Structure 1
């Protein structure tokens, strides 16, 4: 390992501090804006120290919001993000297992058909997907928010590549011990895939949390709004005045669940990206 000493160490630390400050300062300004009153924000210069209305502004956002209570939008986004992440991982790992360990006609054709769906983002197929969801009566429902986004060619590809690295001797040993396909999958492959699952869960949870276009189409009732939709709808149209303290409080609360997932799963997330645990 190469260690930097002297001026190199100081420059490295100064660069890190400058980068952290550039990222954190807008978040700090948003936090300050969420703790003051509307006149204090509108009257220049804006204060740079937190105000005394923290509990009032956050309580108003959680209980009332502007179009819908923030706690309800946070719950909708959490259900959607968890459903998408868990569903994508479950379907992808089973699909990859079938493609790698079972021999059936046109096996690789099906895999490449799955892989080709990477060329079709949600925006390209959103109209027929909406028609199918509406035909099954999934508008304004959690199933409509989750099921159309639940397949993942990327996760299937990553699990397939990982399964291909599993030694054939391990498969033969499991077969000699009498382990069938289901037991081999549950007792051997799933524990070995733990870090890969954790890394994908973090990525897919954030993907589901940040969805905007699909929830905007599939939901029309305010009680089904997600937090990303809610923040956009809080901005006024015309000559109305934006309630910036409530908007900033909502934006900061919208950051907490993804940040919590990354913080609590960062160890497994890093291992899943750099380690195979074979």
Structure 2
């Protein structure tokens, strides 16, 4: 029986509202600022009510008209970020699920050691691996290319670990039944394991898409060609003063648009995301 304690209920809701305010206030300020003109924002204070320049600011960002102010092409950078995020997401899931499948269902020497070597890489921060990774990419001639932007980021120890833990919960009787029916390893993987892993894949798609979308440091290192600039790089360049003035109305409009793809991914895939992280039995 759950006790009804009004004070604890009030305290819980107060903390929830406080947390929501802390998260939502910067987003609200960005949305409101994106609807005003530059002169209003240069006064030193952001109005709390929407302005009348919503359509003008967003249309200039999306159509590239803001390039006249020295800003990078927003639509092109957004497409680059989308391609990079989708490639990283697909690559990480494909490599991780096949790696976990091999570790769990194949018997070969040092397979457990191989898994733990993969798992230990979780303890190595990106900053530790970024210089040798850059050296390899540069030696292979993959700077300023899609291969250089995506291939070094598609290995995922986290996804491999999650798929391995799930595969270990699949009953051995399913594997034996597949063998009796004459199913080979890849048919068992394609027809049984992949459908069972649907919720796990959905949850990882959300996490890995956002991981690829917000990449900043790696594209900054391997990209000098403006044709490969990603949205996060462009956002940094948008706050660089043009003739001594930062176009904050375009910066805020760009920031709001940059938040939309991750939000849409989470909204449309939230059921798979929650089920993939909470279900223990399939």
Give the stretch that moved more between structures: 40-49 or 67-76: 40-49
Instruction: Compute the displacement of 1:11 (Å).
Output: 4.3
> 1:117/1:12 Cα in 2 relative to 1: closer, same or farther (>3 Å)?
closer
CA distance 1:6–1:109, shift in 2 (3 Å): closer
Q: Does 1:188 align with 2:192?
A: yes
CA distance in structure 2 between the partners assigned to 1:86 and 1:13 by the alignment: 39
Length-normalised TM-score, structure 2: 0.92
Question: For residues 197 and 153 of structure 2, what CA distance do their matches in structure 1 show?
Answer: 23
State the match for 1:201 in structure 2: 205
- 1:57 corresponds to: 57
1:253 Cα offset (Å): 0.6
Which piece of structure 1 moves more, 117-126 or 54-63? 117-126
Quote the residue 2:23 is aligned against: 23
For 1:131 and 1:44, the matched residues in 2 are separated by 44
The answer for unaligned runs of 5 or more in structure 2 is none
Q: 1:3 to 1:89 in 2, by over 3 A?
A: farther
Aligned length: 278
Structure 1 residues 156 and 33, CA, compared in 2 at 3 Å: closer, same or farther? same
Q: Deviations over 1:217-253 (max 9, x none)?
A: 1110222111111111112259721100000001111
Cα offset, 1:208, TM superposition: 1.1
For residues 56 and 3 of structure 1, do their structure 2 counterparts lie closer, same or farther at Cα, with a shift above 3 Å needed?
A: farther
- How far is 1:8 from its partner? 4.5
SS of the residue corresponding to residue 18 of structure 1 reads helix
1:5 to partner: Cα distance: 6.3
1:152 to 141, 147, 156: 156
Following superposition, the deviation at residue 137 of structure 1 comes to 2.4
Cα distance, 1:191–1:78 mapped onto 2, change above 3 Å:
same
Query: Greater shift after overlay, 139-148 or 85-94?
Result: 139-148
Residue pair 1:68, 1:223 contacting (<8 A) in 2 also: no
Q: RMSD of aligned C-alpha atoms?
A: 1.9
Match of 2:43 in 1: 43
Residues 121, 157 of structure 2: 8 Å contact kept: yes
How far apart in 2 are the matches of 1:251 and 1:3?
45
Evaluate the alpha carbon distance shift between residue 9 and residue 121 of structure 1 in structure 2; reply closer, same or farther with a 3 A threshold. Answer: closer
Q: State which of 257, 262, 266 in structure 2 corresponds to 1:262.
A: 266
Residue 82 of structure 1: aligned partner: 86
Q: What are the superposed Cα offsets for residues 244-271 of structure 1, whole Å, 9 maximum, x if unpaired? A: 0000001111100011111111111111
Distance 1:237 1:141 in 2: 28
Q: Please give the residue correspondences for 1:216-255 in structure 2 after superposition, counting only pairs within 5 Å.
A: 216-236=220-240, 240-255=244-259
Asked if structure 2 preserves the Cα contact closer than 8 Å seen for 1:32 and 1:49, the reply is yes
In structure 2, the CA distance between the partners of 1:3 and 1:25, relative to structure 1 (3 Å rule), is farther
Tell me how far 1:14 sits from its aligned partner.
4.0
What's the counterpart of residue 130 of structure 2? 126
- 2:215 is aligned with 1:211: yes
CA separation in 2, counterparts of 1:171 and 1:97? Answer: 12
The Cα of 1:144 is off from its aligned counterpart by 1.1
TM-score of the two chains, using structure 1 as the length reference: 0.93
Consecutive unaligned residues in structure 1, runs of 5 or more: none
1:115-140, Cα deviation, whole Å (9 max, x unpaired): 22223332212222122222322221
